Amino acid sequence: MKLIVGLGNPGRTYAKTRHNLGFMLLDKMAGIYGTDFSGRLFKAFIAEGTVRFPSSEGMISKKIVLAKPQTYMNLSGESVCPLIKWYKAELNNILVICDDFNLPVGTLRFRGKGSSGGHNGLKSIINLLGTSDFPRLRIGIGNAQYGDAADYVLSHISDRDMDLFSTVIDKAAEGVDVFIKSGIEEAMGNYNRNFLPDEKSSE
């Protein structure tokens, strides 16, 4: 099985902020896989489903669990760590999705492991899990025109910028699907790049 975690903050106030791209991507994934967030478990909204796809050995079925922690970003580990234990998920079969202030807008960065990079959600998970050895997907939100990271990541996305992020979310959804079916290396090889024109991604 694959446990896909999207990080964000709960409530309408934060719904269309850059810090909630993890939630937005999981909503997209739920639509693709024909499931919904009707479950509640360990302070998270849960959507469960099954992905079927062909392989050299015939058709394969994999269970997927999509999770949106409702703890607020800096306490994400309080939800994610119990979920990992509950589903008995091996660390290489989880994927944590978050925004990244240090990547240009439009950039996707899959990694098999790594530091928090200053992201409070990842930091919480790493601290409570006791390891940083789990796959993650960072979605670039840029920071060129802003000095204060907290104000920027919690600012609402304009309609114009939402069009850009919608394009990136579509590509990220493709990458997550590849991770589910083929693993982190395949996702890294095909989706670790910027998906917007240079003049837009630099904003």
H or E segment to which residue 128 belongs: helix 120-129
Q: Which residues have a catalytic role annotated?
A: 19
What is the Cα–Cα distance from 43 to 98, expressed in whole angstroms? 18
- DSSP assignment of 78-125, as one string? HHHHHHHHHTT--GGGEEEEEEETTS-TTBEEEESS---TT-HHHHHH
- What six digits make up the tokens of 122? 């990842």
Assign residue 163 a region (left: φ > 0; alpha: ψ between -120 and 50; beta: otherwise).
alpha
Structure tokens at 25: 């991507």
Place of tokens 């990992």: 84
Say if residue 108 is exposed, middle or buried (CB neighbours under 10 Å; 0-12, 13-18, 19+): buried
